[in-house]
Amino acid sequence: MSSYQICSRCVYDTSIEDISFTAEGLCSYCQKYDNLARKYINIPKEEKQKQLNVILSKIKRLGRNQKYDCILGLSGGVDSSYLAWLAKDLGLRPLVVHFDNGWNSELAVKNIENIVTKLNYDLETYVFNWEEFKDLQRAYFKAGVVDIEVPTDYLIFAVLNKLAAKKGIKYILSGYNYATEFGMPKGWNISNKFDNKNLEDIHKRFGKIKLKNFPKFGRYQIFYYQNILGIETVPLLNYIEYVKKDVKHFISKELDWKDYGGKHYESVFTRFYQGYVLVKKFGIDKRRAHWSALICSGQVTQEEALEDLKNSPYDLELQKQDFEYVAKKLDFSQDEFNEILKAKPVPHSLYATENPNDFSWNFFNAVMSFPVRIRRKLRHIGATGKWR
């Protein structure tokens, strides 16, 4: 076995299974980041502004006769909260949608209320059937797989797209950004959150009730929404200077936003999952990814990140409380839950998975390529008046 090594720049180390280093000690994830940065992040300000203007004029033009020109998913976290402010500042008219999976912290609810009131937005809250959602989350725990957030991530994307389709809205604003999110190491999450086969197999084996309300949103549905209906997800924060520290300060001042003390900790479940389950059962500390992104975009130093990583992910007393709360809410006895968290991790691939290259999918894509090309051209003409 080779010896321990940590990247010369970020805080990824040899605990990551597919990591490699240059002779100078720079890790493969930093190299990927640099390639991305050359193309998308470290481009001149004027160029970014130009790209942003193109997107904004498309959104405004396609939505000009509608009440809303875009949809904005608001979790109450830093990124989506700032995005809500930015959309207003840029003159967009979003319908704000919050997906409530039953795990919101009280603080998140308060933050969302404040934002929507201050910015004078309409809010639609989507509450998924709790018994079904609980059954799915229980199944993922029992399956022993790493990505227990699949049900949430899958549903958010499905809900936003379906609502966009229903209302005839063509754009979904996303808070995803390169400056604070980093390539997740292999094995830290499932590679395809919309792998229906995997989800269905895990639920078939470990679930108890039928999922009557669960919207199917796999690759065929995504293809339909994106290519036929022309619904596009726009990562708006990638077109502006995004400095986490400044943004937090700004939204606290402007929107009365209160900090949760950790990335994605607006949800009690995500706090427990990232700060406890991943760390204890899977040996994964997502703070490493969050810090590494901030280091690469020059927002913190490696020393600061390493100093923070010496602390436990979050308050130990709160971890204990969360353990009891999550177990109870998911109908696990404490012993049962303990056993689940101690059991050996199981790869997602142990269950049925979709083959990204199977015949029917390739055939479908080949058949659809012509109408999709025409569809894109027509949309371009609709937006610019020019055939390109």
Residues that bind Zn ion (CB under 5 A): 7, 9-10, 12, 27, 30
Shortest gap between Cβ of 48 and Zn ion (angstroms)? 24
Cα 276 to Cα 7: distance, rounded to the nearest angstrom: 25
Which CB sits closer to Zn ion, 13 or 336? 13
Which CB sits closer to Zn ion, 9 or 170? 9
Shortest gap between Cβ of 8 and Zn ion (angstroms)? 7
Shortest gap between Cβ of 311 and Zn ion (angstroms)? 21
Shortest gap between Cβ of 69 and Zn ion (angstroms)? 39
Shortest gap between Cβ of 37 and Zn ion (angstroms)? 13
Which CB sits closer to Zn ion, 30 or 92? 30
Which CB sits closer to Zn ion, 7 or 86? 7
Shortest gap between Cβ of 6 and Zn ion (angstroms)? 8
Which CB sits closer to Zn ion, 30 or 158? 30
The Cα-based distances of 169 to 61, 94, 142, 174, 361 in angstroms read: 12, 10, 38, 14, 27
Shortest gap between Cβ of 168 and Zn ion (angstroms)? 44
Shortest gap between Cβ of 302 and Zn ion (angstroms)? 9
Which CB sits closer to Zn ion, 6 or 150? 6
Which CB sits closer to Zn ion, 8 or 384? 8
Which CB sits closer to Zn ion, 7 or 92? 7
Shortest gap between Cβ of 36 and Zn ion (angstroms)? 13
Cα 106 to Cα 381: distance, rounded to the nearest angstrom: 46
Per residue, the 3-state secondary structure of the chain, as one string, reads CCCCCECCCCCCECCCCCCCECCCCCEHHHHHHHHHHHHHHCCCHHHHHHHHHHHHHHHHHHCCCCCCCEEEECCCCHHHHHHHHHHHHCCCCEEEEEEECCCECHHHHHHHHHHHHHHCCCEEEEECCHHHHHHHHHHHHHHCCCCCCHHHHHHHHHHHHHHHHHHCCCEEEECCCCCCCCCCCCCCCCCCCCCHHHHHHHHHHHCCCCCCCCCCCCHHHHHHHHHHCCCEEEEHHHHCCCCHHHHHHHHHHHHCCCCCCCCCCCEHHHHHHHHHHHHHHHCCCCHHHHHHHHHHCCCCCHHHHHHHHCCCCCCHHHHHHHHHHHHHHCCCCHHHHHHHHHCCCCCHHHCCCCCCCCHHHHHHHHHHHHHHHHHHHHHHHHHHCCCC
Which CB sits closer to Zn ion, 26 or 90? 26
